[in-house]
Amino acid sequence: MTTKFSPTVTYFRWTIFLLALGFWFYQFTQTSLDAFGWQFRFLTIWGLTANLVVSWMMLRLVLGKSTKTYNPLVSATVVLGAIVVFMYWKLWFINPALVNSNGPIVWYQEYYLHALGPFLMMVDAFFILGVFRNIVRTLVTMLAVFVSYIAWVEVLVRPLNSFPEGKAANGLPYPFLNDMVMDERLVFYATTIGTAVVFMLIGWVVSRVIVKLG
């Protein structure tokens, strides 16, 4: 059975998709193509890519081209977006240089990637689609994303890049990571994943409240 969506939902999902698509392609003009991994070294761009893929899936749903909701993937994308926003601004308010190795980024990119983009995805996910329906599959998907990113930056990105330079390592995409030895980075990664699990549980509670109120 095909769900009927209002024109407002259709326009909203087109907006989310086109913004994600535009900013995704824009990254190719803003990155150093000499660096291994290009812009995909950054967790923020993994979040943007996930937003693009998920927004396309949800647009297909509203256009009647698919009946699959891919709920665990959408839910994991919401958590990824929350981590990107939380970690970026937490470090930015300490010192912007901790996250921006090449200096300040243009304002509209900074606020889309680290505020508006994840927020729009959350609005759709919580209030239109309905997320966190299967907490176990969401957890597995989320862990797969984070572990894959950690393996990517530690096994490939770090050895194949020499910048940014830090006190303990070189080549990791975020400057602050290069000031940590491996043991410290592992603790940081574990803490970040733990925070993501907390965000996932908060999201599950919020989704249940929305369902009951609706």
The answer on pLDDT for 103 being more than 80 is no
Return the structure tokens found at 43: 């967790």
Predicted pLDDT of residue 34: 85
Domain ranges across the chain: 7-213
The answer on pLDDT for 99 being more than 90 is no
Q: Considering the chain, what is the average pLDDT of its residues?
A: 93
Q: What are residue 119's phi and psi, to 5 degrees?
A: -65, -45
CA 186/CA 205 separation, integer angstroms: 29
Full-model pTM = 0.93
Predicted pLDDT of residue 1: 44
Predicted pLDDT of residue 3: 64
CA 114/CA 47 separation, integer angstroms: 10
* Confidence class for position 30, pLDDT limits 50, 70, 90: confident
CA 161/CA 172 separation, integer angstroms: 8
The residue with tokens 């983009």 is: 117
The answer on pLDDT for 97 being more than 50 is yes
Predicted pLDDT of residue 31: 83
Predicted pLDDT of residue 40: 95
